[in-house]
C-alpha cells in the first residue's frame, strides 16, 4: 500500500467538498497540503452530450437508479468531479429562517447562514433568468398559479451563458451552470489544492484515509485519475467528510474506528418527489429553455413545494405512474406536455436511516409516513388545479385512479386524488434532496456540532447535507455551501496553527 501525508483530506467534491476545498486554499498558500478525493470521474467539456443514458451512467450513483431498501423510492445523487452540483438545475435559495430556528442548533443562527449563502450567490453568478429565456412550460406554471390563487416565486439560478439546452440534470453541455466543478474546485486547484478523481475512500483509520484509486474503464467518460490505480494509506491532520447524506454515514459506519459513533446514519431524510404531467391542446416550448424557473412554497402551511421541471423521455416515462395505452398517450404528446415536480417535506425520524450491508455498501431505510402521503395528496391536488387553470386539457396524477383526469372533471380533483391511491412500489417516487445522517445539534440524536465537529474525534469534520438535523424544505445546495463554509473556517483556523507535514 502506498503511503502519503497531507495536512487536510477532503472526501467528496460536491457542494460541501468543493466549498471546503476552495476555502482551505489559503492553507496551501501557507505551505500546507490539501487533497480532495472524489469517487467519480472528471469529464471533459466535450463529453457532456446531453444523452440520457450515457450521461446518467457516468454522472450518477448507480446510473441514477439507486433504490431505498424496500425499493419504493429512487435516490438521485451525483458521483463526479463536482458531485451533485454537476447534475442539479442550479436553483439557489437561502434557507428559510423558520427552518434554521426550528433546527435549534447551538451556535448556528439564520443571519450567519444568510450571510454565507449570499457570499456564494455572488460567487456563483446567481441571478434571475431573463424573462426572454423563460419557456412556456414555466410561464404556464406562473400563470396557472396566479389564476388558481397561488403565489408563485421565481428561482434565482447560478448560470452564466445559459443557452437553454434544458439538459441541466444530465450535466450542462455548455458549461453554463456554476457548480463546484466550474467555480470552487478550479479555484482551489489553481491555488494548489489537489483533486484526485476515481478515488474512493474505503475506510477511515485514526488520522488516516484508506483510498482505492480505480482505472478508467474502457468506453467510459472522463479523465484518468491523476494518481495511479491502487491502494493508498493517506495520513492527515484533519479529515473533512463531504460525501453527502449517503456517502458520509456509510464511510463512518464501515470504518471500525468510527462505527460506534452514536446516531450516525439516523435521521436521514429527503424531499420525496414525483412528477405531474399535463397535456395542452397545442405544442408548448418545454424541452428548450431552462427547466426550473418558478416554484410555489407551501412547506410551512401544507408541507409541500411545487417546482417547474422538464425531464427527458426515459425519466418522464419512468416517473409517470402506470403503463400501456394511457401512459403511451401522454408520451406521444411530448411537445404538449407541461410538468410540475411535487416535493413533500418530511421531518427526520430515527427510523429512517442509512446502514451498511456486509459488503460495506449503503442501505437506505425509508418509509413514507402518513404526513408525507398527506402532503403528496395536497400537493397533487394543487398542481392539478394549477395545470387546469393554465389551460391543460388532461392531467396525469399518480394519486388518482385512473391516473388521467380530463378537463371536464377538473372540479372534482379533490375527490379523484386521494391518499388511498398512493401505493408505494406503484407510484414512482424519487428524491434528489438528500439530508441528515450526521445531524448537527446537542443531545443523543446529534452526531456533529454547528462546526461539523464529531465529539471524541478531533481530527474529523463533516461538511455536507448530512449535517442537516431535519428537512430544509427548499433546494439545499446553497445551505450546504454555507454550512461547509463554516466548517472550513474552523478547519482553516485550527490547521493553520499546526506545523506542516513534510513527508510525501
Partner 1 sequence: MAEHVLEPVRPIFRAIATAIVPELRSASANTWTELESQIERALAERPAPMRRQLTSFLRLLDWWSVPRHGRRLTKLDEAKRNALLESLERHPLLLIRRGIWGVRTLVFLGYYTRDDVMTFIGYRGHKDGWSARPEAQRERPAATPQDVGIVHKRPLV
Radius of gyration, CA atoms only, the chain: 22
* Residue 333 vs 365, nearer CB to partner 1: 333
81 vs 311, which CB is nearer to partner 1?
A: 311
Cα four-point dihedral sign 478, 249, 256, 36: negative
Q: Which of 1, 29, 111, 151 binds partner 1 (CB under 8 A)?
A: 151
313 binds partner 1 (CB under 8 A): yes
Among 111, 122, 503, 504, binds partner 1 (CB under 8 A): 122
Reduced to 3 states, what is the DSSP secondary structure of residue 298? strand
Of residues 17, 41, 164, 476, which one binds partner 1 by CB under 8 A? Answer: 164
Check: CB of residue 448 under 8 Å from CB of residue 483.
no
Q: Which one among 13, 89, 91, 165 touches partner 1, defined by CB under 8 A?
A: 165
Q: Phi-psi category of 403—alpha, beta or left, where left has phi over 0 and alpha has psi -120 to 50?
A: alpha
Does 275 participate in binding partner 1 (rule CB under 8 A)? Answer: no
284 close to 336: Cβ distance less than 8 angstroms: yes
Q: Does 52 bind partner 1 (CB under 8 A)?
A: yes
Q: Minimum distance from CB of 129 to partner 1 (Å)?
A: 8
Of the residues 17, 82, 156, 263, which one makes contact with partner 1 according to CB under 8 A: 156
Least Å distance between CB 288 and partner 1? 5
- Residues in 191-210 that interact with partner 1 by CB under 8 A: none
Among 101, 190, 228, 314, binds partner 1 (CB under 8 A): 314
Binders in 478-497 for partner 1, by CB under 8 A: none
C-alpha cell of residue 337: 406536455
Count of chain residues binding partner 1 (CB under 8 A): 68
Residues 74 to 113: which contact partner 1 by CB under 8 A? 93-94
- Contacts with partner 1 in 317-376 (CB under 8 A)? 317-318, 322-325, 327-328, 331-335
Residue 499 is a binding residue for partner 1 (CB under 8 A) = no
- Can you tell me which of 5, 26, 63, 374 binds partner 1, judged by CB under 8 A? 63
Quick check: 163 and 129 in contact, CB under 8 A?
A: no
Exposure b/e, 241-260, CB count within 10 A at least 16 = b:
bbbbbbbbbbbbbbbeebee
Q: Cis omega before residue 159 (within 30°)?
A: no
Torsion angle defined by CA atoms of residues 11, 49, 432 and 395, in that order, rounded to the nearest 10 degrees: 180
| Residue number, 288 or 393, with CB nearest to partner 1 | 288
The candidate with the shortest Cα–Cα distance to 158, out of 95, 89, 94, is: 89
Pairwise CA distance, residues 250 & 232, whole Å: 19
Report long-range pairs for 210-215 (Cβ below 8 Å, ≥24 apart): 210/1, 210/234, 211/37
405-424 binders of partner 1 (CB under 8 A): 423-424
Site for partner 1, rule CB under 8 A: 48-50, 52-53, 57, 62-63, 65, 70-72, 93-94, 118, 121-122, 125-128, 130-133, 135, 142, 151-154, 156, 162-167, 173-174, 283, 285, 287-289, 294, 312-314, 316-318, 322-325, 327-328, 331-335, 423-426, 428
Amino acid at each position: 500500500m502506498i503511503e502519503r501525508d497531507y495536512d487536510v483530506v477532503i472526501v467528496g467534491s460536491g457542494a460541501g467538498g468543493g466549498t471546503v476545498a476552495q476555502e482551505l486554499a489559503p492553507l496551501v498558500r501557507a505551505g500546507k497540503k490539501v487533497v480532495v478525493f472524489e469517487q467519480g470521474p472528471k469529464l471533459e467539456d466535450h463529453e457532456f452530450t446531453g444523452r440520457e443514458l450515457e450521461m446518467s451512467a457516468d454522472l450518477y450513483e448507480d446510473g441514477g437508479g439507486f433504490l431505498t431498501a424496500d425499493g419504493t423510492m429512487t435516490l438521485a445523487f451525483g458521483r463526479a468531479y463536482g458531485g451533485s452540483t454537476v447534475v442539479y438545475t442550479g436553483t439557489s435559495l437561502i434557507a428559510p429562517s423558520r427552518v434554521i430556528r426550528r433546527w435549534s442548533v447551538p451556535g448556528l443562527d439564520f443571519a450567519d447562514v444568510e450571510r454565507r449563502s449570499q457570499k456564494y450567490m455572488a460567487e456563483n453568478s446567481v441571478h434571475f433568468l431573463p424573462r426572454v429565456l423563460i419557456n412556456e412550460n414555466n410561464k404556464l406554471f406562473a400563470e396557472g398559479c396566479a389564476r388558481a390563487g397561488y403565489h408563485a416565486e421565481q428561482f434565482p439560478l447560478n448560470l452564466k451563458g445559459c443557452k437553454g439546452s434544458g439538459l441541466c440534470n444530465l450535466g450542462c453541455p455548455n458549461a453554463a451552470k456554476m457548480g463546484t466543478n466550474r467555480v470552487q474546485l478550479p479555484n482551489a486547484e489553481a491555488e494548489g489544492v489537489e483533486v484526485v478523481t476515481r478515488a474512493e475512500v474505503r475506510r477511515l483509520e485514526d488520522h488516516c484515509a484508506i483510498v482505492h484509486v480505480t482505472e478508467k474503464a474502457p468506453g467510459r467518460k472522463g479523465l484518468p485519475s491523476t494518481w495511479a490505480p491502487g491502494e493508498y494509506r493517506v495520513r492527515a491532520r484533519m479529515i473533512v467528510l463531504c460525501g453527502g447524506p449517503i456517502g458520509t454515514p456509510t464511510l463512518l459506519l464501515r470504518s471500525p474506528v468510527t462505527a460506534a459513533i452514536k446516531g450516525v446514519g439516523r435521521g436521514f431524510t429527503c424531499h420525496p418527489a414525483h412528477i405531474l404531467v399535463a397535456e395542452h391542446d397545442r405544442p408548448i416550448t418545454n424541452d428548450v429553455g431552462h427547466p426550473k424557473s418558478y416554484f410555489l412554497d407551501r412547506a410551512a402551511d401544507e408541507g409541500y413545494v411545487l417546482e417547474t421541471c422538464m425531464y427527458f423521455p426515459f425519466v418522464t416515462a419512468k416517473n409517470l405512474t402506470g403503463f400501456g395505452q394511457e401512459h403511451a398517450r401522454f408520451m406521444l404528446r411530448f411537445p404538449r406536455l407541461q410538468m410540475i415536480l411535487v416535493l413533500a417535506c418530511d421531518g427526520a425520524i430515527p427510523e429512517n436511516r442509512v446502514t451498511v450491508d456486509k459488503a460495506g455498501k449503503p442501505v437506505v431505510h425509508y418509509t413514507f409516513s402518513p404526513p408525507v402521503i398527506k402532503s403528496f395528496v395536497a400537493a397533487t391536488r394543487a398542481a392539478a388545479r394549477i395545470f387546469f387553470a393554465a389551460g391543460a386539457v388532461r392531467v396525469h396524477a399518480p394519486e388518482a385512479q385512473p391516473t388521467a383526469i380530463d378537463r371536464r372533471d377538473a372540479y372534482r380533483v379533490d375527490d379523484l386524488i386521494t391518499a388511498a391511491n398512493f401505493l408505494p412500489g406503484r407510484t414512482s417516487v424519487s428524491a434528489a434532496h438528500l439530508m441528515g445522517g450526521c445531524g448537527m445539534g446537542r443531545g443523543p440524536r446529534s452526531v456533529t456540532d454547528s462546526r461539523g465537529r464529531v465529539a471524541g474525534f478531533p481530527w474529523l469534520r463533516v461538511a455536507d447535507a448530512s449535517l442537516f438535523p431535519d428537512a430544509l424544505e427548499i433546494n439545499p445546495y446553497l445551505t450546504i455551501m454555507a454550512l461547509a463554509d463554516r466548517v472550513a473556517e474552523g478547519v482553516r483556523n485550527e490547521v493553520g496553527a499546526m506545523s506542516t507535514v513534510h513527508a510525501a
